[in-house]
Amino acid sequence: MIREGNATPAWLANDFNASRRHALIVAQVIKLGQKLTDDAVAMFIKLMGRQFSQANNRKKQRHMDCRPDTAKALRMFLDTITALQSANDYGRNALEVLDQEVGWHRLLRMKPELESMVEDNEASPLALAAEQYGAVNKYAGAFLQAFSFQSARRHDPLLAAISLLKRLHAESRRTLPDRVPVTHLSQADRRLIFERGRPDRRLYEIATLAALRDRLRSADIWVDGSRSFRPIDEHLMPRSTFTTMKDEGRLGLGVQGDGVAWLTEARQMLDFNLKHLAHRARSGRLEGVRLEAGTLIVTPTAGEVPAAAEELNAEISDMYPMVDVPDLLKEVHDWTGFADHFTHVRTGDAPRDVSAMLAGVLADATNLGPKRMANASKGISAHQIGWMRTFHARSETYRAAQACVTDAHTRHPHSRLWGNGTTSSSDGQFFRASDRAAKRGDINLHYGSEPGSKFYSHLSDQYGYFSILPISPTENEAAYVLDGLFDQDTILDIQEHFTDTGGASDHVFGLFALIGKRFAPRLRNLKDRKFHTFEKGDAYSALSNHIGAPIDTTLILDHWDDLLHLAASITTRAVVPSTILKKLSVSSKGSQLAKALRELGRIERSLFMIEWYLSPALRRRCQAGLNKGEAAHKLKRAVFFHDRGEIRDRSFESQAFRASGLNLVVSAIVHWNTVYIERAVSHLRSVRREIPDHLLKHISPLSWEHINLTGIYTWDSEQHLLEGFRSLRLSAGLRRAA
């Protein structure tokens, strides 16, 4: 009912009977209440984070501004040391020499400046944030009064502090009582707040709001009426359902139900593999790895494409038929029927106007938008595109259409030359934001000083995209690695997944082990990462530089059932993995479940790192998987061309449509290219050309030079294709041979 209400304009709802109209309105009101609550809490979290970020920037700027004074003070300090050293060397009176060489009065005049510089340098982040208390005071009272906060802890001091602040704002009081709840704050914050005896209102309120921010993010505190900010248990499958599945042996996870048995097996495996690695390292028998001063160093993997493969790729690229992108989409639809998956929100019927549906998809993919797409199209009006997008384009229909194209690509015989569909990679691609979107965009200095968004996508080893979602460029990609493996409906059975360092964390390693899949990231600065062991580090003397903290087995066993519950909730799609990972990773102290998952992840990361050092095949496989994703970014950039490829949509939903349309059109291009690669190879072999499969593995389906992506889009053209396919472009020599 919410989806239908989203799509139904007021004039159409007027034709519904009263009961149906009322039901849609009530559903919309409930959804709107949850959305406004979530948005308000998310905005509070963002504003408080910005408060401390700006405080840190001000501190850095002050350091920059006082560099001349700092240099002057350091010069005087050096002169003082030199004078004292001279007095000591020649047995002279130190104060006389100091007064003569530096000047006692000059030193005393410098004292206030030095005190100010030291005070600025040692300023607490809380004190700096409290300098902008006026900005916080504008919204803090209204925010606290608007919502009801809950906690799993009995007599939570943070809730008592919030209640006190609510009362102060309601009564417009400026001073705190002599006794206030403080056990929710750190010792350093308490000392600062009570530095002058009585508690400082500004410092206390900022510290309490910062604690509330952290605990909202970690789900230690939740908000009544919210959908996103709920207790962790409410995100997971019901505990009774989990218990029943465990008792009946239906969890289907990658670990045993008995934690002791699993840890015993992991201990034996880790000990054996570490000893094997230490022996190979001592004897210099590690391919592409050397041991220098007790440190293992991996030689970077160089991926080289045979010259013959590059020549063949150029030849096949010249054989692609020329095609306009509307015709390409219609042909892929004729082969797969993917547009039929954009079903009507209420009736479930396939779209009657396929061309208008495809135009809407291309409007998202090219970043044109429906109105500009209609202006650039022949045979399609803005009303037709708008109607199809309103009633047929939703996240689930985009996902179904994506699965249709990806499944057809997976089943195509030629795609099996690139892989068997059991491995995949994921990576984020940054797009700048402009206009109104820039005001809500986040800035990550890794991508420059301009705001933007990232499209995080998953790609199979067969070049088949199967998931994409927009994320903030400041967010950790590791939280979203598992989302793509479960938020998709393809026939792909992914068993091994590759990422770069940004997608890796111990929590992700732990979850991959629990769900029974293999995680293989390319880790930067691998030599600085430690193995975590069950035994004492001296058992592996050759690797002593690489041994870190021991595994806390007690913590894992105490929370074994909770770990299984978490993993089962992910595999049954009861919860989105990123929802839980973000909550487990943001708490400043960390929940016990988060710590247990980290300990389990350390075991899996240690086993993976051992294999990385031992297996050059694993390193090559990971590098090849990531190279495919990075190469596909160029095709996405070419398709997402309008407005210089800048995102101008402010809402997450609109950005998700852009990302989904882009993924779908790129997948259609990849599948279309694959079909014609296979036809080109068949033609070359028919004229007695010997083309081995090991060369075809290097022929990428990511070309787009033969596709007209811009200009006037014609949707009503009739194509009469012989046997349903276009003719290859053949050189004169190939035509004579044929």
- Residue-wise pLDDT for 60-71, tens only, equals 888 788 888 888
Q: How far apart, in whole angstroms, are the C-alpha atoms of residue 206 and residue 40?
A: 18
Structure tokens at 598: 């980290």
Helix (H) or strand (E) holding 423: strand 423-432
pLDDT tens-place string over residues 530-576: 999 987 767 788 888 899 999 999 999 999 999 999 999 999 999 99
What's residue 589's pLDDT?
Answer: 56
Phi/psi of residue 458, nearest 5 degrees: -115, 135
pLDDT tens-place string over residues 244-267: 999 999 999 999 899 999 999 999
First to last CA, the chain: 59
Q: Of all residues in the chain, what percent carry a pLDDT higher than 70?
A: 96
In whole numbers, what is the pLDDT of the chain averaged over residues?
A: 89
Question: Residue 442 has what DSSP assignment?
Answer: B
Greatest Cα-to-Cα distance within the chain, rounded to the nearest angstrom: 106
Q: How many CA atoms lie within 13 A of 616 on its CB side?
A: 12
Inform me whether the pLDDT recorded for 241 exceeds 90.
yes
Inform me whether the pLDDT recorded for 488 exceeds 60.
yes
pLDDT tens-place string over residues 603-627: 999 999 999 999 999 999 999 999 9
Residues 382-395, mean pLDDT to the nearest whole number: 90
Q: Of all residues in the chain, what percent carry a pLDDT higher than 90?
A: 60
* Torsion sign (Cα): 501, 429, 452, 653: negative
Lowest-pLDDT choice from 296-300, 325-329, 533-537: 533-537
**Confidence band, pLDDT 50/70/90 cuts, at residue 436:** low
Q: Enumerate the β-bridge partners of residue 223.
A: 149
pLDDT tens-place string over residues 188-204: 999 999 988 889 999 99
- The pTM for the full model equals 0.84
What's residue 532's pLDDT?
Answer: 93
Residues 436-455, mean pLDDT to the nearest whole number: 72
Helix (H) or strand (E) holding 624: helix 616-639
* Burial category of 507 from C-beta neighbours within 10 Å (exposed 0-12, middle 13-18, buried 19 and up): buried
What's residue 207's pLDDT?
Answer: 95
What's residue 706's pLDDT?
Answer: 94
Q: Which of 98-107, 235-244, 577-586 has the highest mean pLDDT?
A: 235-244
What's residue 735's pLDDT?
Answer: 61
pLDDT tens-place string over residues 134-172: 999 999 999 999 999 999 888 899 999 999 999 999 999
pLDDT tens-place string over residues 24-56: 999 999 999 999 999 999 999 999 998 998 888
Q: How many CA atoms lie within 13 A of 521 on its CB side?
A: 24
Structure tokens at 545: 């530089």
What's residue 560's pLDDT?
Answer: 96
What's residue 232's pLDDT?
Answer: 85
